[in-house]
Amino acid sequence: MFKAYKFRLYPDEEQQLLLEKHFGSCRFVWNHFLDSSNKRYVETGKGMSYKDASVLLPALKEEREWLNEVNSQSLQQELMHLDSAFHGFFRKISGYPAFRKKRNGGSFTVPQHFTIKDNHLTIPKFKTPLRLFMHRNIEGEMRSLTISKTPSGKYYASILAETGKKIPGPVRIEACTSIGIDVGIKVFLTTSDGLQIDNPKNLKKSEKKLALLQKRLSRKQKGSKNMNKARIKVATAQEHIANQRMDFHNKVSDAMLRAYDTVITEDLNVSGMMKNHHLARSIADAGWSSFMAMLKTKALQRGKSIIDIGRFDPSSRMCSHCGYTYNLKLSERKWICPQCNTAHDREWNAAKNIKQFGLIKTGIPTDSGELTPVDRSMDTLIFLAREGIGQVHWLKQEAHAL
């Protein structure tokens, strides 16, 4: 099993200059061969493969002598990344590769010949080791290293290590150890046992400060030092919001997987919902896609199961008590079933149905352990409270209307 570690780097001025040369050279190689591939496709109807590009790289290094000042393996890795990006596009996994810009930071990969000792990183082409802060030990054998720079000007080292451990097999799916979750905008997550976690809305809380910083940036003279300082302030504020969101996602996903062996989710068309300009900002602030990706990655590492139900299953519109399908509007947050007169909370009802649909999909009887044990829910609540997430509350049990 592979595991990634990310540490903060603190290079001196001379090392920063050499790092910038690596970032610039790798960016130049990426943009150069992306442009060459585009031109070749227009002329011949066929793009450029990694093999074609690697043959042309030595000639480019002779033409641009400054490319020899950086690690040659990092330039080769850039061609591999470009080839992988094209493969991802043709498989409809990602978008078409874009040209890289200097203001977005940069990165380069070192596949081998790097060592870490006493909080110092040694890599090729650097005369002195780079200082880094190791907040935890690396387990296993280091395989590759990626050094990156954020738009705010911070440097990081990401290390991929092979732990030697096998990925644990998935545990048996049972109704009593399963949970259905429904994500939303106002309430970030609702579980099938009635636990709700409010959305912290990190972007909304910081939008006034961010708008002020962006306004100041727009008034600076283009290309000036003051403009660069203002740009860094905007990037720092945006990075802080992203870190808050990631921290929240980490804590919530940990809580779900600590308490339950199987998490059942809904396959959401997030890209389609982002086209709604009234909700796009709130959806982006919630970060559903990144949360689901994080949840699935952690579940795979821990031997837990993630089940996705179909995006067209009537999870919100169907009564979880009698199965009646109601013509539910988006503005209705609570509704009463016309058939059995059961009062429903929209999110809680959806979470219950998501759990039922997921269990039916896997062939597990939904009546075996229909209710999740209270201890599991309490463990989740205690863990979230200990991690500093206080916007958690219970929903009252649904009741029949008179």
Across 341-352, average pLDDT: 86
Residue 156 pLDDT > 90, yes or no?
A: yes
Q: Are 344 and 337 in contact (CB under 8 A)?
A: yes
Q: Which residues of 106-143 are buried (b: 16+ CB within 10 A; e: fewer)?
A: bbbbbbeebebeeeebebeebeebbebebeeeeeeeee
Identify the pLDDT of residue 63: 93
CB neighbours of residue 231 within 10 Å: 18
Identify the pLDDT of residue 374: 54
Residue 220 pLDDT > 90, yes or no?
A: yes
Phi, psi dihedrals of residue 354, rounded to the nearest 5° = -60, -40
The pLDDT tens digits for 86-105 are 999 999 888 999 999 988 88
The pLDDT tens digits for 25-79 are 999 999 999 999 999 999 998 889 999 999 999 999 999 999 999 999 999 999 9
pTM: 0.84
| Euclidean distance between CA atoms 382 and 195, whole angstroms | 12
Token pair, residue 53, equals: 């590009």
Across 250-255, average pLDDT: 90
| Euclidean distance between CA atoms 278 and 185, whole angstroms | 12
Identify the pLDDT of residue 402: 36
Residue 373 pLDDT > 70, yes or no?
A: no
The pLDDT tens digits for 100-125 are 998 888 999 999 999 999 999 999 99
Q: Please state the domain extents for the chain.
A: 2-162, 175-394
Residue 372 pLDDT > 90, yes or no?
A: no
Q: Are 291 and 183 in contact (CB under 8 A)?
A: yes
